[in-house]
Each structure stands twice: as C-alpha cells, then as structure tokens.
Chain A
Amino acid sequence: MDLPEPLHDFLLVFLGSCLVLGSLGVVFFTNTILSAFSLGLVLVCISLFYILSNSHFVAAAQLLIYVGAINVLILFAVMFMNGSEYHQDFHLFTVGGGITLMVCTSIFVSLITTIPDTSWYGLIWTTRPNQIIEQDLISTSQQIGVHLSTDFFLPFELISIILLAALIGAIVVARQ
C-alpha cells in the first residue's frame, strides 16, 4: 500500500488494537449475540489488514465469505440458544483453563520472538521478478484468475468436488 509511513503504522496499530478488543469481546461477553457480533468485528478487521497489505481480492473474499456467510451462520446458530441457562456455574480458574493459559502463553512468546527475526522482504522479493513485465498490463485479480486456470487448473476442479462433498455432508447432518 503506498501510504505515507506513519499513517501506515498508525492504521496497523489501530486495527490491531481493534482486533484484540474484538476477540476479548468474543470471549468475555455473557450475551451470546454480542459475542457473535464481536466475531464479525474481528473478521472485518482482518479484512482491513489484507487491504493494508495490498491484497484487495483476498480482502473482498474475506468480507464476502467470512463476514457475509460464516458469521451469519454463527449468528443463526446462536439464535437457537436460550442464553440464560449457560452462565450459572461459572468457575473463574479451572485446571483446563490453567493448561490452556500455559499453552497459549508459550505460543505467544514463540511468535513474538520469531516474527521480528525472519526476513520478510526476502520472501516478497522472490515473487516480484515474475510479475514485473506484466505488472501494468494485468491487474492482480486478473493474475489470480490466470494462475488459477492455467497453473492450478486441477486444484480448481478438485475444489468444486470438495465443495460438493461439503454441501452433501452438511445437508445430511443438518436434516437430523
């Protein structure tokens, strides 16, 4: 994204804090519908991250699929529940909660130590020389379409079979 550098950093920090607050809201709200709406906020923030990273097609696909379909599905599932009977036996600190806390803290520490140490620019520059010639003639979404239909033609057809299997499986399970 060709934004001025401090604006880019400010947007990153703002979106990151919005994301963290939304995910805290998903976990901590006692009203389940508010929790589902916070999940929608988290998915919208992820989509805006993709826009900042100059992948506009993935951002639009994220909005369409995650927010538009999957979050709506979660909301419909939440609406089946009567929320009042789930919060009566609420222990603050259980054994399972302690183990999960240790696992998540170790994952967090390992991510924080490895992400600043990898050279991300080395990864990006390897993909750039392939596209310099066609850079201005074909937009990024068209490049995705070209690669999807020529290099990745067989996975493209297999995706349709996976979607068919998912549809049949979901209908079989949901009809009972």
Chain B
Amino acid sequence: MFLLYDYDIFWAFLIISSLIPILAFIISGILAPISKGPEKLSSYESGIEPMGDAWLQFRIRYYMFALVFVVFDVETVFLYPWAIGFDILGISVFIEALIFVLILIIGSVYAWRKGALEWS
C-alpha cells in the first residue's frame, strides 16, 4: 500500500503512534480551562513548598548499568538470526546457541558478584 511495501506494517504503526500524542495534546488544549497564577508556575513537590535545588548529581551506577547493557545487547543481536531460523536449524545448532548463552551467563554472574549490578 505504501512505497516500501515490505514495511507496510511499520509505516502504519509509525503513523498511528505519531497521531495519538498529537490528538491527545490537541484535545486537552481545546477542552482544558486556562488560568494563570504565580503558584501554577512553581515546580511540584507533592503539595508542600519545594525545597532545595532541582539538579541531582549523576551517579556512577547509571553508567555501570549502561555498560553491562551494551554487552548483553550485542549478545541479543547475535541470538536474533538463530531465533529467526529456528525451525530450519536442528538440535545441534540449539546446543551451539546454548553454549553461547552459557558463556555469557558466566559473565553475568561475574558482574553480579563484583557489585556492578548494585542499585543502592
């Protein structure tokens, strides 16, 4: 239906998922009452007066999580072609992919024991 017909479903998904937020903003812009005041422009802190600065310090554990994510994302990309051809490939290829995942599970246990996955 569209120009790149292999991507039909993708274009439909893209159009619908762009239309929904635009419609939401337009409808709420039309229906909502507008009233200005000095209290509406201050930041929200659960009903009390806001105290302190809004800027937080960036902590190192965000970076540790992103780092572990990169390695496991690359592993996932290598598992995608195996998963797509799963019904063609036999049980021996299943064993090979299992070895692949097991070696990376060893890596994830190492990351867990070394405290790279601590959140607090």
Contact = CB atoms under 8 A, between A and B. Distances in A.
A62 B92 CA distance: 29
B63 A166 contact: no
A149 B66 contact: no
Interface stretch (A110-118, A123-131, A138-146): A138-146
B70 A171 contact: no
Contacts of A148: 78, 81-82
Contacts, number: 122
B interface bracket (residues with beta carbon within 8 Å of A): 35 or more
A3 B4 CA distance: 8
B69 interface: yes
A56 B85 CA distance: 15
Interface of A: 1, 3, 7, 56-57, 61, 64-65, 68-70, 72-73, 76-77, 79-80, 138-139, 141-146, 148-150, 153, 156-157, 159-161, 163-164, 166-168, 170-171, 174-175
Interface of B: 3-4, 6, 58, 60, 62-64, 66-71, 73-78, 80-85, 88-89, 93, 96-97, 99-100, 103-104, 106-108, 110-111, 114-116
